[in-house]
Amino acid sequence: MRGDESAVRKDTMDEGEVLTYGMAVTAARAASEMFGRDVTIIDLKELVSYTDYFVVASAETDRQTRRIAEEVIERMVAEGYRPRTRRIDEASSWISIDFLDIVVHVFTDEARDYYRLESLWRSAPQEKIET
């Protein structure tokens, strides 16, 4: 995401939308800075009622996915956002963390290729995050 894209996007949002988009960006940057691969924000506001954004990231191993998920949780808690639920199993290839307005999904590369959330939600606006 380039800085100018973020500024344009914020100009068209109300205060609540800016807050939830900021949550998604915070989670996405945390994942990216912890070496998450292909970090993507999927904007679901117009498509579903249960969340505004998915943040999707992947890593090579189960251990790396857990570390990315832990970093996302730490960063979000530091910003004042507590996860409602989280599913982090020892040998899980898919970790989900629900912050209500955003849901973070961290996959192993193999699981991400299998579930293909970006393809499932291809009609939704998607934004790649790069650090």
For the chain, the straight-line distance linking the first and the last C-alpha, in angstroms and rounded, comes to: 8
CATH code of the domain containing 43: 3.30.460.10
Q: Count how many domains the chain has.
A: 1
Strand partners, 56: 40, 105
User: What number is the average pLDDT over the span 70-94?
Assistant: 89
Rank 4-18, 52-66, 89-103 by mean pLDDT and report only the highest. 52-66
Tell me: pLDDT of 113 over 80: yes
DSSP annotation of 84 reads S
Q: Which amino acid is at 30?
A: A
pTM: 0.88
What is the residue range of 114's domain? 3-128
- Output the average pLDDT for the chain: 90
Angle between the N-to-C axes of helices 3-11 and 15-33, in degrees from 0 to 180, rounded to the nearest 10: 160
